[in-house]
Chain A
Amino acid sequence: MQLIAQLLFIAALLFGIGFFARNVKRLIRNIKLGKDIDRTDNPKARFGNMARVALGQSKMVRRPIAGIMHIFVYVGFVIINIEVLEIIIDGIFGTHRIFSFLGAGYDFLIGAFEILALLVLLGVIVFWTRRNISKIKRFWANEMKGWPKDDANYILYFEMVLMALFLLMNASDYQLQLLGAEHYAAANGQITGAFPVSQFLLPLIDGLSVSTLIIVERAAWWLHILGILFFLNYLYYSKHLHILLAFPNTYYAKLKPKGEMDNLAAVKKEVDLMMDPNADPFAAPEENGEEEEPEKFGASDVQDLNWVQLLNAYTCTECGRCTSECPANITGKKLSPRKIMMDTRDRVEEVGENINKNGEYKEDGKQLLGDYITQEELWACTTCNACVEACPIGIDPLSIILDMRRYLMMEQSAAPNELNIAMTNIENNGAPWPYNQMDRLKWAEENN
């Protein structure tokens, strides 16, 4: 019986981790669909950013209630996972609380896990209330209907159940130790572990026989670890992926001033050529030089974006802090930076599925622009960087908006008419309005 349990456990573990590895491979492949961009400079600043923003949660606490609750859940989850290590070793070797040789330190650890589990439960309940009872506006926006809303709640239910199972497992274990049950109780009669929270669950299981208690304890143990394995594999399909990707995402985030937008290299090449008095406009292409395909300006689909932008999309946890700070969204326009990120992820997933099915990407007649993100959304952006500033994990929705505007403007000439007029004015007389450049100093002659 014991051996079968061990084998079953090993099989579940291998399957869970194997499936996760397959998804991670797909994830990396999909992110690499993006164009190359060098973000390896200044590793010190990048590590610092990751330590502060991802590890240290520095931007989460800008909204104190959500921030503190999030820290409970985050710290709880990370630390309780140390216990998972013990659970896995116990599972494989059929031992009971293998780390208990740590003595008083072990009691402290288990006690701390229990308190954290309680705090996680508290945090998750507050989160659920904010989403479903107080109906905070950003959780009820248009893009949050259907799967995104369900996804968020599933995660919360899941964490509630996992924490409840963890505490129930400890409670029944404690009770079994108190009853001196074989395999559970230590030879010297000492209690292994400390149970500051689960001891209060004892009345619930009071009076149960040892054999029933073992079933309860084993069931909780199994459900807890299987739940964790399931959750691990749920990540790839969920906004919850941020728990892993927040780290690389903050590492590879832009370090330059927010106002600095990249100078397109392809455009620079063309402009240099135009400004070069020695360039021969009629020059024949070089003899054996291959006819270069002119580079596409801007982005109309996910493959035109860079891999950091795609990483951003997979990292987004749809909290909506960006959208709630967006001046366009606040004033009722369709633009929502969160939707830009969700659309990008949905489209890159669609392209990924296409590759899974066909071996390589087969034209599907769809693209990010138009099928997911409309021009109306893109033109509503004021490029104010409020969304970038608001993101707790360093996502840059503005860079995607800008790249798509570039495509509209330079490949499609599809800008709003008034904007085109301003562009023509800049071209003709060096100002967005139809004033003569020769009048630029007139203000100095005017009466004061």
Chain B
Amino acid sequence: MSEPQAQTPPAMTGGSQSYWDLVWGQFRKNRLALVSLVVIAVLFVLAAWAPVLAEGKPWVWREDGRTSYPLPAWLTAPTSGMSVDYLFNYFFFLTLTVPAAVLLVRRSMRGKEFSAKVARKRWSLGLLAAVLAGVVPFIGPGSYERGATPAEKEAQPELQIVKVWHFFRRYRLDNRDYLGARESLSKERGDYAYFPLVAQDPLGQTTDLLQPPSSKHFLGTDNQGRDVLARMLHGGRISLSVGFVAVGIATLIGILIGGIAGYYRGWVDIAISRFIEVVICFPTFFLIITIIAFIDERSIFHVMLVIGLTGWTGLARLVRGEFLKLADQDFVHAARALGCGGARIMFRHILPNAMAPVLVSVAFAVAGAVLTESGLSYLGFGAPPPTPTWGELISQGKTHIFEGAWWLLYFPGFMIFLSVTVYNLAGDGLRDAMDPRMRN
């Protein structure tokens, strides 16, 4: 029998500290780790904002009394580039909607007392709205298809609300060289254009080959006259996504395989452990190069996939060890005594307890994957040519080292160094924060 008063929401106790609250409390005390986390966040934002900061297309283009929005159209067009770009473009919208949601939720709760339950509800609603709002620019009838002229668009009657909604999308995406056309804009006609901060196309080839840093190209140009800063900003997308996607794949495989070995023990464990040992024996980097050499039309996803598929062994061993240890804990026996099945126990009861060391290992693995990707790109086995990556820039720097193209080595090299360092430092901080001996 449930009585109505049982529904009274739990009041803010303030004392309810989950394990992660405690870890965060410790992590915060580590200055270096905190800075690293901030740097990682900045790297993410830079990657998400790459087209906004450095792109050859203008935000607004007015010519002959007609206004168009090439960059926004490009941002939301599914044909705008690789899927990595598409994803990061979505992240770009998230960097706008999430802070807005945070501000709104904060404001709505200002000066009022809320129970933890109501507050949690508001926060989750607000964040959900932000995540959904980030999708909005991408959906709806796309009139960005090449060849669709304004006249054709007007022939398709649209609801006014849809029109407003797809404000940006009504302008077609074209491959026009806006940077070149910029010169021909005439003030007398009232033409104007608003370009991103770094008005340089990361893919656009110019005749300024191997220029040192200047006021036009802040970090110089590469051997095809492409702006290094623009390429580096866009290359951050590749680096970050390879790091996280490859490690995500490796983590999934590692948790599954290691978890099964550790939970079921016996011959299952023996078989899986021997299999892991066999896989460990392959020299990973050469294995990756070999596999990639056999892929005909490789893309960055092949690189991610191969790094992920070869990088799970360490994690699987770690997870296996954790599962072996945790499967003997009383709460696991208790869960079994309550009638929980194997999968439920593995993933709901054991895995959350094993997450801490897994996360530390993931942080280090991300750093490793970023390095591997840079190495592959450096050797020419990474993303296919026009794609900007840090390793590819260094590779160019190597080729032109006697021409003194130091900007091709130092700037991308510094980015690789910085990102690998901050992932390691953050992982270090996480490990220290979870070490009970570090607690006072």
Q: Decide whether A and B assemble into one complex.
A: no
Which residues of B are at the interface with A, using a C-beta cutoff of 8 A?
none
